[in-house]
Structure formats: structure tokens, C-alpha cells
Amino acid sequence: MKSILIGICILALSYWSIKPLVAEGWFSMHDDTQVGRVVAMGRALRNGQFPVRWVSDLGFGYGYPLFNFYGPLPYYVGGGLYAVGLSGLTATKIMFVLGIVGAAVTMFLFVRQILGSIAGLVAAAAYLYAPYHAVQIYVRGAVGEFWVLVFLPLILLGLSKRNVIIGSVGLAGAILSHTILGYVTTLVLLAGIGMYGFWVLVRRSSPTLLQSLLTILAMGLGLSMFFWLPAFAEMGYTEIAGQIGPTAYWGDHFVCISQLWHSNWGFGGSIPGCIDGVSFKLGKVHIGLAILGVLIALVKQKFFRRARSTLLVVTFILVFSLFLLTSSSAPIWRLVPAASYIQYPWRLLVYSVLGLSVFAGVGVAIIRQKWMRVAFSFVIISLIIAVNGKLFVPQYGYALDAAAFETDEELRFRVSKISDEYLPPGIPRPTELSLVPKTTIKVPAEGSVETEIDTETYTKAMVTIRSQEPVTINRAHFPGWHYYIEGKEVQPITNHGLPTFVIPQGIYLFESRFIDTPVRTVGNVGSLISLVLIIMFVSRYEKKANA
């Protein structure tokens, strides 16, 4: 009964953060591709592809390996809902809501473990209504980044409970939600392992926590291996490296300290200097509560002795992330492997928000009388929502029929223009809708094509050639594609990134299949083994609990 009441409280608290999503229509955002990606994922799932790597409608209709590189987890949720019959728009809204509310739930679970339920509610409210959370949702539309907020508290919960299952699921979830922040989270965990390992060596203390850290790292990487291993190994076959240009150089996107206290709310972008078009403020209420929480934790160390080690970890995350936001950390950024792919230091605000939110609950935990804790919590939560709830609105909304988000014009042209960074090199970018290919196989001048099957990963067609000429497949060539004529595999000539074949006069059965490369197979097997191990861990814990 208590759990039900708490769940109702969290849903009630979430109302102002998700209110625009329950309204009719949709809204503008920087990355206005979300419905299109959900539809593309849903169609791939519906056609039996799993794990989904290739989508056919995006990439100007040439298709491209979007989910081989771009965090797929939120889209598995949205795409799954689309695959079972919901519209792309409705499925996308639910995907947003689950990511937003899910962050509040996991923060509550973590803080409840170390500080109690009432403190957990305060921390959940602070986490939910952090200004940067509103930026992620309603300004940038950064789905993967705000889904990462769901999993960061699970990593900390796993550490505090010495529960490698929860911790590894948290790490895997972060990696699968957002490639870049998953990479950063892994680096942070590696740094923590290194520092704690040195501490254990010097002090000759118990290595139990170190073992938990190592297990969480190994299992988290194992569970997500099907994604990150091919993503790193096959990135060179796309144009992503060439698009990490001067406008996304990390050195131009540090946050000024004054911006953390106050920066004007806006729906623009990030530019060098201290006057960005988007806000990076932490929130005055959040800062005040966190300072109060830190001071109380220092003064009342005995009261927090059970949570002391966890709060020390949170303190490190908070302080170090704030430091990395500023230009003073440039020497460290130069040492970070592949820092150019992180692009924007302000992405690390997710870790600052995590730390601030945890300490927002500390001031409540110290109050001994329950009625006073409840009353004080009600005041704090009301203040947080009153000050920051108004930020959780889009710049503008618009009414559009759900079917309009699923048309060829929408997917193959408008959405494709916004996000084409994972296309293989040389693929032509249509400048108008009429130039977008309408068929997978370009019809020969004097021949014909009768397509029997055409899905994301398999095409079967009868091709009639009346005079010898090149036949072009309007599908981006990428490792994993194999082509067959009359059952015999043939190697294409790539022309502007598209496979081309010179075929004599005649009628031919043409097939193309997209299959896993060796590195993808290794990743799949690694994830499967890790999943089996996780199931074994769960079974063992259940047996211990029932003994």
C-alpha cells in the first residue's frame, strides 16, 4: 500500500513536467526527428529485425545503420509501441513520458535507500524539475540524454546496496540510451575504480567494494556489448567523423560560472562565450538546497555514517562534473580519449544535476519528527515546482495529424535532412523531394523490376534487362550487405556510395541481405552471455532470500 501511495505521489509530482505531452499535437525542438526515428524503429521491429541496426526510410530513402551507432534503448520502447499498433506520434509521447517520470522513480529508489522515503521524494522532485532537464526535453529534444538520467541513480543504487545486478543494468541502460554519455559514464566508473583500487592498495582495506565496481563495469559493458562494440568498430564507415567540425569543438562550449547561477532562458543554440541561446543554469533553489545539504552532512557526520561513503561518491561526481564544465578543465579534456566526439562540455550537466538532487534530500533526512519532515518536504517540493515547473514548456506547439509524421516526405526528406550523419560516404543528398529515390532498385531504362519482398534487411525482385547497362541499388552500401543474382553472391561496384552491377541482357532473380558482420556477432554473443549470467545472479539472490 505504501509503495502504491509513493507511486501516486511521484506521478502527481510529474504532472507539470509532462503536461505539454498530454496535449494535442506536437512541438518544436532542436532534434525534431523523434517521431520519425520511432516509426523507423517500429517498422524494423515489425519486420522481424532484432537487434535493430538498419532503417530503410531514413537517410533520404537510401537507408542507413542509425541504430548501429545511435543509442537505441528509448527507441526500442517507442518503436515497440508503434509496432503493436499505436501511432508514431502517440508512441513517441509515451517514450518521452516514460523517460521523464522514470528518472524521478529511480532517483527516489536510490535516495530512499540511503536517506529514507521522504528525502527520496524531495530528491526526485529536484531531479525531475532541474532546469537542464527542461532544456533536454523541451528545447533540445535530446531523448537519449534525458533517458540517461533514468539509469545514473541505478548505478549508485547498485553501489550502495552492493547489488551488481542493479548497477550493471544501470550502466548498460546509460550506454544504450546515449552513446556519448554512456561512454563518459564508463570513463567516470573507470576513474572511480582506479582511485578506489589505489586506496585499497595503500590502506590494505577490504576489496569488497572494488570487486562490486569491477563486476558492475564488466556486466554493464557485457549487456550492452551488442551495441557499443560495433559502434566503435564500424564508425569509420560513416561520415560522422567528418561532421565533428569547428562548430562542435569542445573548447568552444565551456560554461561560464555565472551561467550556472543564472542564464536567460532561450530556445537557441550553444556558441563560444557566455551568452548562449540556451540556458545552462543549475537553478537557484537547487543550488541553495544542495549547499544546505552539504553543510548539514558535514556538521552531522555521525547521523549520516551509514550513507557517508555514498555521499562522498556523490560529492565527487558533483564537484568534478562542475569543474569539467568550465574552461579551467581544458588540460583534462585534452587527455580524454575521443573528446571531440563528446563535443559539448555542458553535456556533463547531467552529473551535476544528479549530485545537486541527492543533496537536496539531505536537509530533510535530518529532521527527526516525521510530521515536520513531511511538512518541510511539502514546502520544498512546492517551491521547486513553482520556480522551475514553468520552464517545462516548448517554444511553440502545432497541430498536425498523426499520419503526417509517417509519410515518405516526412521520413525520407524532412527528417533525413536533419539527421544524416551516419550515412556512408559519398551518398547523394537530395535537395528537393522529387530527387528522393522511390524504389529500392533503380529501374533500367528499357527494363523492369518486379519486387516481391522489400524490407529493411532483405530485398527480392525479378529484374528484366533488355540491353546491358549498370543497375543501381538505391540503398547505401555498408558492411553486412550481401548481394545475389540467381542465387550466386556478386560483388558490387560502389558509385557515390550505392552498389551498382553490370548485368547482361536477360531476366534475373536479384536478392540483397543485411547480415551481422563478425564484430556484430561477437557483440551479440557477449551480450547474450552477460544476460545469462545476470539471470543466474538473480536466481542465486532469490534462493538466498527464500532460504
Each residue of 64-107: pLDDT tens digit? 999 999 999 999 999 999 999 999 999 999 999 999 999 999 99
Residue 243: predicted pLDDT: 59
Whole-angstrom distance, CA of residue 458 vs CA of residue 308: 56
The CA angle 241-513-44, to the nearest 5 degrees, is 70
Of 194, 147, 202, which Cα lies nearest the Cα of 173?
Answer: 147
Whole-angstrom distance, CA of residue 102 vs CA of residue 343: 27
Give the residue carrying C-alpha cell 537553478: 283
Question: What's the burial of 320, exposed, middle or buried (CB within 10 Å: 0-12/13-18/19+)?
Answer: middle
SS3 content of the chain, % helix, strand, coil (to 5): 60, 10, 30
Each residue of 303-319: pLDDT tens digit? 778 888 899 999 999 99
Residue 55: predicted pLDDT: 96
> How many CA atoms within 13 Å lie on the side-chain side of 312?
9
**Residues 468/505, Cβ–Cβ less than 8 Å:** yes
Helix (H) or strand (E) holding 528: helix 518-546
**Residues 170/152, Cβ–Cβ less than 8 Å:** yes
Each residue of 250-270: pLDDT tens digit? 888 999 999 999 999 999 999
Q: Write out the three cell numbers for 378.
A: 511539502
Each residue of 349-383: pLDDT tens digit? 999 999 999 999 998 888 888 888 889 999 999 99
Q: What is the pTM of this model?
A: 0.94
Beta-carbon count within 10 A of 532 CB:
10
DSSP state at residue 1: -
Average pLDDT over residues 272-287: 94
Cis omega (within 30 of 0) for bond into 51:
yes
Whole-Å CA distances, 380 to 116, 361, 363, 373, 386: 16, 10, 10, 10, 10
Amino acid at 119: A
**Confidence band, pLDDT 50/70/90 cuts, at residue 201:** confident
DSSP state at residue 487: T
**Confidence band, pLDDT 50/70/90 cuts, at residue 285:** very high
Please report, for the chain, how many H helices and E strands are present, in that order.
23, 10
CA-CA-CA-CA torsion for 360, 361, 363, 366, nearest 10 degrees? -170
**Residues 233/243, Cβ–Cβ less than 8 Å:** no
The CA angle 193-199-205, to the nearest 5 degrees, is 110
Residue 363: predicted pLDDT: 85
Whole-angstrom distance, CA of residue 238 vs CA of residue 477: 10
Residue 544 has pLDDT above 80, yes or no: no
DSSP state at residue 454: E
Of residues 199 and 335, the one with the higher pLDDT is: 335
Whole-Å CA distances, 103 to 80, 137, 139, 205: 20, 13, 18, 34
Which residues have CB under 8 Å from 287's CB, separation 6+?
A: 260, 261, 356
